[in-house]
Amino acid sequence: MARDQRVHDNHALLAAQSEALEQQVPLYVLFNVKVVKNRSREHYEFMLKGLEEISLELKSRNIPFVLKSGEAQQNITNVLNEINAGSVYFDFNPLSGSRSLSKKIASSFKGSTFVVDTHNIIPTWIASDKQEFAAHTMRRKVHLLLENYTLEPAKITNHPFTPNIDVESITLAQARQFIATIQSKGISITAIPGEKAAAKHLESFIRERLATYALKRNDIADDQQSGLSPYLHFGQISSLRVALEVIKYTDQQPLLFQAVKLASPGDSPSEYDGMNALLEEMVVRKELADNFCFYQKNYTSLDAGPTWAKQSLALHKSDVREFVYQRAQWENAQTHDLSWNAAQNQLRKTGKMHGYMRMYWAKKMLEWSQTPEAAIEDCIYLNDTYSIDGGDPNGYVGILWSMVGLHDRPWFERQVFGKVRYMNEGGLMRKYDVAAYQRMWNDEE
């Protein structure tokens, strides 16, 4: 278990249990805690709380939860040898570290190795066999398959074959000591961690905000987003469960093969509109991000952008920047722009920035950095270091969409941006109460 940290609606766990039942053998779940670049201690604390719940849930089903820390390949190999495992099941992650780990294990392990995509509703390699060009090409493929995959998963059962080997596991207290070496950034994460909390959060979102989601989710001063990304990122809830619950609640099938109509002020959207808007974000956009990272190995680099954008950014490389900030100024929200500072303050205080501001925040980093490369590097650093949902394909794609026109089309040529879509504060002000947003997040000076 790595990316999908849950007991329920976990197809990797279900596949492993199904084989263990067939072979009449015990089933073990192994989780390896390791330090990942640019993540903060608060993110690990959130994760460990979730793992604590998982460990108890699994124990009550006669499935031991083995926790290790440090070098993953060695730890996994040792456990596989110790229990004389017949098969190993990994949950799927398109990012390079996870993929190379499962490949290395597959090449040295004498049993069978499987990778199960339980993060996406449609497994990445089934949704498409190539890097998709844009959301509209992905949408068509997702819509063709969605109905076949929005199926209620089986339930994990009490495992009848008792483990005969007591595999050494570190305690949660030891795991906490291990993460104590990771730098804290003083982030106050408001989401309550764990599978149960995730389910409760979903329930209240559906009841209280689904009806207004289509209209209001972009409103920076009145946050009506789902708030699901911390849970989806750590796999404490599956996007399949979210989709099944919204479909059940609205008692209507999602709108397929038509662009979702995004509500505008004056409309009175329904829960049905909310469901369609949510599925557009959580299935089309999110699964497009996994598609990109799966088929494009340079997923954190300018090189992965479309040719028109790379050429046009290169043409504007020497344009004079009105402002140029360095990483420490970004990090401490010390720019001339109060909206940008508010966004960065929201991020560093709470570990989550409003989704609409994320686009503005990244685009301004492109505008006020010496080079696009430096902008991408600093933006990834800030997003992964502070955001609870960072270190995720959605983040790398969101940053490349904002900065190098990924999945987007050319716009009008302008300074620094070239043909990459531009955003300015005036646009924010026309739509939302920017002053209220600034008051919320900028300290009184």
Ligand X SMILES: Cc1cc2nc3c(=O)[nH]c(=O)nc-3n(C[C@H](O)[C@H](O)[C@H](O)COP(=O)(O)OP(=O)(O)OC[C@H]3O[C@@H](n4cnc5c(N)ncnc54)[C@H](O)[C@@H]3O)c2cc1C
Taking CB under 6 A as the binding criterion, the range among 23-31, 75-83, 263-271, 280-288 that sits at the site for ligand X is: 280-288
- Answer yes or no: are the C-beta atoms of 230 and 191 closer than 8 Å: yes
Taking CB under 6 A as the binding criterion, the range among 25-33, 285-293, 324-332, 417-425 that sits at the site for ligand X is: 285-293
| Residue choice 235, 372, 395, 405 for contact with ligand X (CB under 6 A) | 395
Reported in sequence order, the residue ranges of 38-182 that DSSP labels E, i.e. its strands, are: 65-69, 87-91, 112-116
Cα(419)–Cα(404) distance, integer angstroms? 9
- Residue tagged 């997040």 (tokens): 441
Provide, rounded to whole angstroms, the least separation between the CB of residue 413 and ligand X: 22
Provide, rounded to whole angstroms, the least separation between the CB of residue 332 and ligand X: 19
Provide, rounded to whole angstroms, the least separation between the CB of residue 308 and ligand X: 20
Nearer CB in complex with ligand X: 55/402? 402
Provide, rounded to whole angstroms, the least separation between the CB of residue 220 and ligand X: 11
Residue 108 in tokens: 């040295």
Cα(64)–Cα(235) distance, integer angstroms? 19
Nearer CB in complex with ligand X: 162/265? 265
Judged by CB under 6 A, does residue 235 bind ligand X?
no
| Residue choice 383, 408, 416, 441 for contact with ligand X (CB under 6 A) | 383
Nearer CB in complex with ligand X: 169/291? 291
Q: Where are the alpha helices (DSSP H) in 184-284?
A: 195-208, 210-216, 229-233, 239-250, 271-279
Cα atoms found within 13 Å of the Cα of residue 177, Cβ hemisphere only: 5
Taking CB under 6 A as the binding criterion, the range among 134-142, 165-173, 282-290, 409-417 that sits at the site for ligand X is: 282-290
Judged by CB under 6 A, does residue 42 bind ligand X?
no
| Residue choice 119, 141, 348, 358 for contact with ligand X (CB under 6 A) | 358
- Answer yes or no: are the C-beta atoms of 44 and 273 closer than 8 Å: no
Judged by CB under 6 A, does residue 296 bind ligand X?
no
Cα(61)–Cα(237) distance, integer angstroms? 19
| Residue choice 6, 387, 405, 417 for contact with ligand X (CB under 6 A) | 387
Nearer CB in complex with ligand X: 40/55? 40
| 13 phi, psi to nearest 5 deg | -65, -40
* Cβ neighbours, 10 Å, residue 403: 26
Provide, rounded to whole angstroms, the least separation between the CB of residue 112 and ligand X: 31
Nearer CB in complex with ligand X: 68/407? 407
The burial class, CB within 10 Å (0-12 / 13-18 / 19+), for 152 is exposed
Among positions 318-357, residues that touch ligand X (CB under 6 A) are 355
- What is the pairing mode between strands 65-69 and 29-33? parallel
Q: Which residues pair with 88 in a beta bridge?
A: 113
Taking Cα atoms as reference points, which of 42, 57, 28 lies closest to residue 169? 28
| 24 phi, psi to nearest 5 deg | 60, 50
| Residue choice 285, 349, 364, 419 for contact with ligand X (CB under 6 A) | 285
Judged by CB under 6 A, does residue 139 bind ligand X?
no
Longest CA–CA span in the chain (Å) reads 69
Provide, rounded to whole angstroms, the least separation between the CB of residue 280 and ligand X: 9
Judged by CB under 6 A, does residue 197 bind ligand X?
no
Judged by CB under 6 A, does residue 26 bind ligand X?
no
* Cβ neighbours, 10 Å, residue 183: 11
Judged by CB under 6 A, does residue 408 bind ligand X?
no
Residue span 205-234 as binding mask against ligand X, x where in contact by CB under 6 A, dash where not? ------------x-------xxxxx--xx-
| Residue choice 389, 404, 406, 438 for contact with ligand X (CB under 6 A) | 389
The burial class, CB within 10 Å (0-12 / 13-18 / 19+), for 221 is middle
Nearer CB in complex with ligand X: 395/418? 395
Among positions 254-273, residues that touch ligand X (CB under 6 A) are none
Taking Cα atoms as reference points, which of 388, 394, 399, 325 lies closest to residue 353? 388
In the complex, which residues of this chain contact ligand X (CB under 6 A)?
Answer: 217, 225-229, 232-233, 281-282, 285-286, 289, 355, 358-359, 362, 383, 387, 389-390, 392, 394-395, 398-399, 402
